[in-house]
Chain A
Amino acid sequence: NAGVTQTPKFQVLKTGQSMTLQCAQDMNHNSMYWYRQDPGMGLRLIYYSASEGTTDKGEVPNGYNVSRLNKREFSLRLESAAPSQTSVYFCASSEDINSGNTIYFGEGSWLTVV
């Protein structure tokens, strides 16, 4: 019963390096999301994908790119990491994009940029 799976769980990057966070869901959900969580700020939406083949910006998209590889997978890329991107990243999914659908979260990826 995997649900939403993210890799890697922990990563340390140097400023300017690039990396990709991988996410896969096995619930046959149409919609997927990337959030970041920072102390005292709750979770903020970076990008989302309503369905396979579509992606849209969320609240804090600057410095990130995403790819909806197929229905199961949604990756988040940092092209040139900055210390301000030190955060915990959560991938999530829901059955569809209509509001009110329960959003299911992965266990998080802890990213430190030094």
Chain B
Amino acid sequence: AQSVTQLGSHVSVSEGALVLLRCNYSSSVPPYLFWYVQYPNQGLQLLLKYTSAATLVKGINGFEAEFKKSETSFHLTKPSAHMSDAAEYFCAVSKYGGATNKLIFGTGTLLAVQP
């Protein structure tokens, strides 16, 4: 069975500070990993995804994530936070090479950016 754990349901950073949102996964087979962002009262938008091509994945809005198999982690980072980054972020996993595109989501991390 696959699962993801997001450490920290709420994270607060100052504008211009490093953003680090943590995600650890559990999977008995190689995974696909995703980060989605949800702005208030909106749907989820894909930030980036890992599909085994490269361990460091760059996404939209200056975000990136690094796949670390030894640590079973896929943490999301951004060097300098903007006010517009305030949103909820979801990590998700699916089975590599699977015949069904089922995403298993983490419980989300709400990012607040202080001026």
A105–B45 contact, CB under 8 A?
Answer: yes
In the bound complex, CA of A39 to CA of B102 (Å)? 20
In the bound complex, CA of A7 to CA of B78 (Å)? 35
Let me know if B70 is at the binding interface, CB within 8 A.
Answer: no
In the bound complex, CA of A96 to CA of B94 (Å)? 14
B101–A98 contact, CB under 8 A?
Answer: yes
Let me know if A52 is at the binding interface, CB within 8 A.
Answer: no
B98–A40 contact, CB under 8 A?
Answer: no
A99–B95 contact, CB under 8 A?
Answer: yes
Let me know if B14 is at the binding interface, CB within 8 A.
Answer: no
Q: Which of B45, B97, B101, B105 is the one whose CB lies under 8 Å from A97?
A: B101
Closest B residue to A94 by beta carbon equals B101
Let me know if B43 is at the binding interface, CB within 8 A.
Answer: yes
In the bound complex, CA of A108 to CA of B36 (Å)? 15
B103 cross-chain contacts in A, Cβ below 8 A: 43, 45, 103
In the bound complex, CA of A108 to CA of B95 (Å)? 25
B96–A41 contact, CB under 8 A?
Answer: no
Let me know if A31 is at the binding interface, CB within 8 A.
Answer: yes
Closest A residue to B105 by beta carbon equals A42
Q: A108-B41, A108-B42 are known contacts. Are A99 and B106 too (CB-CB below 8 A)? A: no
Q: Which A residues have a C-beta under 8 Å from some C-beta of B?
A: 4, 31, 40-45, 48, 50, 58, 90, 94, 96-108
